[in-house]
Amino acid sequence: MKIDLKKEEHNLAHVEIEIPAKDGLNAYNRAVKSYAQHVNIPGFRRGKAPRNIVERQIGKERIVAEALETLLPSAFQRVILENKLDVLMQPKIENYNFEVGKDVKVTATIELKPEVTLKEYKNMTVEVEEYETPSDAFDKSIDNLRSQSAKLELVVDRNTKADDVIIFDFDGYVDGEKIEHGDAKNYTMDLANSSFIPGFAEQLVDRPLDTDFDVNVTFPENYHEAKLAGKPAVFKCKIHEIKTRVLPELTDEFAQKVGPFKTVDELKADIQDYIDKQKENIDKKNAEKAIMNKLHDEVVVDIHEAMIKREADSLLEEYKQKLKGQGFTWEQAVDAQGLDKIMETINDDALFRIKNSLIIDKISREENIVVDQKSLTAKLDSLSAMYQMDKETFAQYMFQNPSMMNNISQQILNEKVISFLVENNTIKYVKAKKSAKTEKTEKSTKSAKTTKTTAKKASKTTAKK
């Protein structure tokens, strides 16, 4: 067999293969015999029809295609091994010439895995913005726990407040016409956590019981029902019940109810430990992200457009499935965001994923990082616990699904390589930069405090006089 291989731009290889006539004839005859065994040919027992009859019945092109299917896998395998090719996809046949009794000539294109050049990936110093735990994180955690155990008590002597839970009737209209499914009786709403149209819950605050009133809102421009999108609406409402949350006292008894704690101090220590670990995890994730972003910025790699398109097509299908799961259609997403914007994001994500995969693959080869049985078993055990399945049953199920196992193996490899990068580079945590919005808020707060302090001083001075 003769092989003529030429590497071209964009990680493509052009190969011309010449297979000896004898091998071609043998493959052709085997294909004829196979068709004769499996196709009913009038006047002949299965497998007994002569070649010319089979050719007339089946057609030479189909027989040639069958012969090529038996010849080419081993031929391509030889091309790959002899030339030490790192193949990304199965070779694509451009054309062929198959005449019985003559050498078989095949021309194909092979897409190769892009060569990755990394200037450095070890002994770097990478700056990472340190996560700053909000000053009220601890208090909010305590408040959330108390809120989860809160009791609702009826209120009859005041108007509604922003943190109340109410029971009310509503009836919606757009352009004077009743909104389909836009009404309800004795509907319960948590005013502090409403998923209604923006501005709706706010207009239910400071309202009395058993009084008719209107709520005027505008549906969002990207609302999932096109006929309502951007339209002003009026909802006629009446509140029947107001309930307020009564929070439990922070006592040892409360601590015992919410977890395996004996005292409030144990509960507080556990909350603080959770907050500290959360900061550690966020800092770790940010460090991993910063390292990978640095490698992405510096990597030199030529990625073929076909590779990006395949990944983009896969991401697009994932996006459509996600929309479907959320109750939206592809058409609604296009109307809301625009096709160009969606595809730009998907193509950017596809390129990022490909680069990420190539970088991981490059480093794993350089450092001989592999997925061994121990790490695979540990991952499967972890996943089985997450899905609350028996370890052996879960492992058996996964091994019966090669694509899932490939995904898990890739995930393990990613984690190992990223851990290697964190261990072999210096992470320098720096104070996070404040956004313009945050700085403006802080200045406003500081200004308000200064004004308040000045007013108090002025008041005291006036009082002394």
The answer to whether 44 and 53 have CB atoms below 8 angstroms apart is yes
3-state secondary structure of 177: strand
Q: How many residues does the chain have?
A: 465
Predicted pLDDT at 442: 55
3-state secondary structure of 336: helix
Q: Is the backbone of residue 413 left (phi > 0), alpha (psi -120 to 50) or beta?
A: alpha
Predicted pLDDT at 436: 53
Is CATH 1.10.3470.10 the classification given to domain 2-111?
no
Rounded to an integer, what distance in angstroms lies between the CA atom of residue 66 and that of residue 73? 12
| CATH fold for domain 151-246 | Chitinase A; domain 3 (3.10.50)
The answer to whether 323 and 342 have CB atoms below 8 angstroms apart is no
Residue 357 phi, psi (nearest 5): -65, -40
- Quick check: do 2-111 and 151-246 share a fold? no
Q: What is the DSSP letter of 99?
A: -
Cα 385 to Cα 64, 375, 392, 402, 416: the distances in Å are 52, 15, 11, 21, 21
Rounded to an integer, what distance in angstroms lies between the CA atom of residue 378 and that of residue 189? 45
Amino acid present at 426: T
Residue 121 phi, psi (nearest 5): -140, 0
Predicted pLDDT at 354: 93
Name the token pair of 76: 């391509």
The answer to whether 331 and 342 have CB atoms below 8 angstroms apart is no
Rounded to an integer, what distance in angstroms lies between the CA atom of residue 224 and that of residue 222? 6
Rounded to an integer, what distance in angstroms lies between the CA atom of residue 153 and that of residue 197? 27
Amino acid present at 25: L
Predicted pLDDT at 141: 95
Rounded to an integer, what distance in angstroms lies between the CA atom of residue 65 and that of residue 58? 11
Question: What b/e readout covers 73-104, taking b as 16+ CB neighbours within 10 angstroms?
Answer: eebbeebbeeeebeebeebeeeebebebeebb
Rg for the chain, CA atoms, rounded: 35
Give burial (CB, 10 Å; 0-12/13-18/19+) of 121.
buried
Q: Where are the domains of the chain?
A: 2-111, 151-246, 436-465
- In order, the DSSP letters of 204-259 are GTT--TT--EEEEEE--TT-SSTTTTT-EEEEEEEEEEEEEEEPPP--HHHHHHHS
For the chain of 465 residues, list the mean pLDDT of each consecutive stretch of 10. 90 93 92 82 73 83 91 93 90 92 94 91 94 95 93 95 96 94 95 92 96 95 86 96 95 94 96 96 95 93 90 94 89 88 94 94 94 92 90 88 90 95 95 65 52 47 43
pLDDT (tens digit, 9 = 90+) per residue, 76-118? 999 999 999 989 888 999 999 999 999 999 999 999 999 999 9
Rounded to an integer, what distance in angstroms lies between the CA atom of residue 236 and that of residue 173? 8
Rounded to an integer, what distance in angstroms lies between the CA atom of residue 207 and that of residue 236? 13
